[in-house]
Amino acid sequence: MTAQVLDGAATAKTIREELRAEIAGLAERGVRPGLGVVLVGDNAASAAYVRSKTRACEELGMQGETLRLPASATTGEVVAAVEAYNVRPDVHGILVQLPLPPPLDAMRVLERVDPAKDVDGLHPENVGRLVQKRPRFVACTPAGIMELLARYGIAVAGKRAVVLGRSDIVGKPMALLLMHADATVTVCHSKTRDLPAACREADLLVAAIGRAGLVRREHVKPGAVVIDVGMNRVEDPRAARELLDPLRLPDFEKKGYALVGDVHAPSVSRVASALTPVPGGVGPLTIALLLKNTVRAAAARS
């Protein structure tokens, strides 16, 4: 068996094209959806993510703006940046790029985002609405995964789902979305006993724990659908040879690094029925859903 590739990049492209019509309709009413990003510090990965998000906005005719603060900024200064976006009518969505440098209080910052502009779905009010199955905005990565499953015709109702990871950004909202879609959900984490056995219960396995290649063939029930949320940078040649498909090794040798997921794709692809690639799987969907949430926020205020 070779797993079907669930192409997140292609799905994200489709979502963006669908958004063009909505954005054009808003433009006829004089509304241009606007995303305001708060970026603190000099984390290269965070800066790259922000550039990709604002570039995606501009490609669709949206407004993308980034307010950069130094790593020395206080929590109060970051809150002030958020509140400045809260009151601007041309900014419909606000994104605080995480993680924030220590010792900043990320929760205090997120609590000050206007819930109606919280397109990342992390404000306590929006989390609570999701728990009650009355969502306004849902965290973009889990929402993107649900879009991917739906567009590939992968049924969730009645299935056993295992979510590996319990973060506020992915694990917890993912579990809630699957539960609301009538899956029977188990959340696993670093303290789960006999993790491979727990994962093998899954018809649908979502790996979001942040450890390169953790999920192996022995974690996966034959025929399961596997969603790989991980994005780990590998620079060691020995690790690359162990974690990468041989076809990716020339590119690794050229660049000196490779991005790999939490799933050991070479072994899991031989037992799973479907698998998201890394890169090109969940990542593009996260950005597409951020854009979708921002357009929805603009429509709600127009």
Question: Which residues are identified as catalytic?
Answer: 53, 97, 120
Over its C-alpha atoms, the chain yields an Rg (Å, rounded) of 19
What tokens appear for 214 in the block?
Answer: 């953790």
Give the CA count within 13 Å in the CB-facing half-sphere of 181: 23
Going by C-alpha positions, the residue among 24, 44, 62, 40 that lies closest to residue 290 is: 62
Compute the distance between CA of residue 119 and CA of residue 57 in angstroms, rounded to an integer.
Answer: 13
Alpha helical stretches, state H, the chain: 8-28, 44-59, 75-86, 106-111, 124-131, 140-151, 171-180, 195-199, 237-243, 249-255, 265-268, 282-301
| Beta carbons within 8 Å of 60's beta carbon, 6+ residues apart | 16, 19, 20, 23, 291
* CA gap 196, 271 in Å, rounded: 14
Distance of CA 26 to the CA centre of its chain: 26
